């Protein structure tokens, strides 16, 4: 395998770039080696339902007065990737974008990792204009000691609602997504503004487009990890007290999702939480006005290419932070997985060290 050239994150024109003029990469090789040797990569996914609370001083898992996004990162174990969904930042709001980066790195100690951040924010003038454009949106915080290993970050051209970020490094692709919530609300063509079905039909189209993206990567010899709020609970065990089955289109959406991402004719992927925890009941979304655990669904998932999990056992752990404090200001809790890249023959850990 050829070595990866050290270079900044390559950004597609559709990706919202960091507000800072230049990104300075970490160059301390000893620090980098200690951070990923053994080569364990932690990925956390979290629908935060807006980021304004992270820009304040009184939010943390422990309700400490010194709480912040920085404290959340510390509590989560300094993940290499923190994939956020529903950030609700307007594309023109550079102050909030820059403020979130500052919050992630506030009062960082010399021995602690720091973070860069990239965004995909809505650019659909017909379907994502509510609240001054502060809808949807995804962001990925990437540890700077791993940042140079990313060869590409982009969003697909078909996503205009700020829902998808694609991160590539070596032969792995991480897809951070805030998937469509199927409803009977009308959808308009992002090109003409003409009526184009409802958001149930849009959800099914997104399923197909995301699957095609995954299969394209896998045909090229890459392994894929999908993370995010997928806005669907897979089975009865994933909803409490009941699984949403009305209107009936939700049943069809669920069937389509399972066939495309877990069926042999689709991705044939692995639901990593179920792989490690079997029939254990844990949930990621909790109804905001109900007591924690009384009305909830597992709609945030991590799906991995089967070879990554079953052939090489490179996914070594995964879980859901299912407790009331973990939600903080959101109605979702974080979930995570840990990858051991040394177990996967497609990776050369030394190249990651060189890139840094």
Catalytic residues, which ones?
178, 229, 332
* Dihedral of alpha carbons 276, 281, 287, 293, sign: negative
- Binding-site annotation: residue ranges for Mg(2+): 47, 86, 229, 231, 331-332
**8 A C-beta contact, residue 330 and residue 282:** no
**8 A C-beta contact, residue 111 and residue 30:** no
* Dihedral of alpha carbons 291, 48, 261, 77, sign: negative
Question: Hey, which residues does 47 pair with through a beta bridge?
Answer: 85
Smallest Cα–Cα separation from 35: which of 76, 78, 93, 67? Answer: 78
Smallest Cα–Cα separation from 282: which of 228, 318, 316, 328? Answer: 318
Contacts of 162 (CB under 8 A, 6+ apart): 91, 119, 120, 121, 122, 123, 128, 135, 136, 137, 138, 178
Cα–Cα distance for residue pair 290/284, rounded to 1 Å = 14
Phi, psi of 331 (to 5 degrees): -105, 10
What value, to the nearest 5°, has the Cα angle with vertex 162 and ends 152 and 258? 85
- Binding-site annotation: residue ranges: 47, 86, 229, 231, 331-332
The one-character DSSP state at 16 is B
Token representation of residue 324: 């009331």
Pairing of strands 195-198, 186-188: antiparallel
């Amino acid at each position: 395998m050829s070595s990866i050239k050290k270079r900044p994150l390559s950004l597609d024109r559709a990706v919202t770039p960091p507000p800072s003029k230049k990104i300075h990469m970490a160059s301390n090789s000893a620090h980098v080696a200690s951070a990923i040797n053994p080569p364990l990569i932690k990925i956390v996914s979290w629908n935060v339902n807006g980021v304004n609370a992270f820009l304040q001083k009184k939010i943390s898992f422990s309700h400490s007065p010194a709480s912040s996004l920085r404290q959340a990162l510390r509590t989560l174990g300094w993940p290499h990737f923190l994939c956020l969904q529903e950030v609700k930042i307007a594309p023109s709001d550079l102050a909030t974008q820059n403020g979130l980066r500052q919050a992630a790195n506030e009062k960082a100690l010399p021995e602690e990792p720091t973070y860069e951040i990239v965004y995909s924010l809505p650019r659909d003038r017909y379907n994502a204009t509510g609240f001054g454009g502060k809808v949807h949106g995804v962001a990925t915080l990437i540890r700077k000691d791993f940042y140079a290993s990313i060869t590409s970050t982009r969003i697909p051209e078909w996503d205009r609602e700020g829902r998808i970020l694609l991160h590539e490094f070596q032969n792995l692709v991480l897809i951070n997504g805030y998937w469509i919530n199927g409803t009977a609300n009308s959808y308009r063509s992002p090109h003409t503004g003409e009526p184009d079905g409802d958001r149930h039909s849009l959800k099914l189209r997104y399923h197909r487009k995301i699957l095609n993206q995954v299969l394209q990567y896998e045909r090229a010899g890459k392994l894929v990890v999908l993370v995010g709020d997928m806005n669907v609970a897979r089975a009865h065990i994933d909803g409490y007290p009941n699984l949403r089955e009305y209107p009936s289109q939700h049943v069809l959406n669920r069937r389509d999702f399972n066939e495309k991402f877990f069926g042999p004719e689709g991705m044939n992927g692995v639901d990593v939480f179920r792989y490690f925890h079997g029939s254990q009941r844990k949930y990621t979304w909790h109804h905001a006005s109900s007591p924690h655990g009384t009305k909830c669904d597992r709609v945030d998932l991590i799906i991995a290419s089967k070879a990554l999990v079953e052939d090489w056992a490179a996914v070594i752990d995964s879980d859901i932070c299912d407790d009331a404090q973990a939600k903080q200001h959101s109605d979702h809790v974080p979930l995570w997985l840990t990858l051991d890249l040394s177990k996967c023959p497609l990776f050369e850990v030394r190249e990651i060290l060189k890139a840094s």
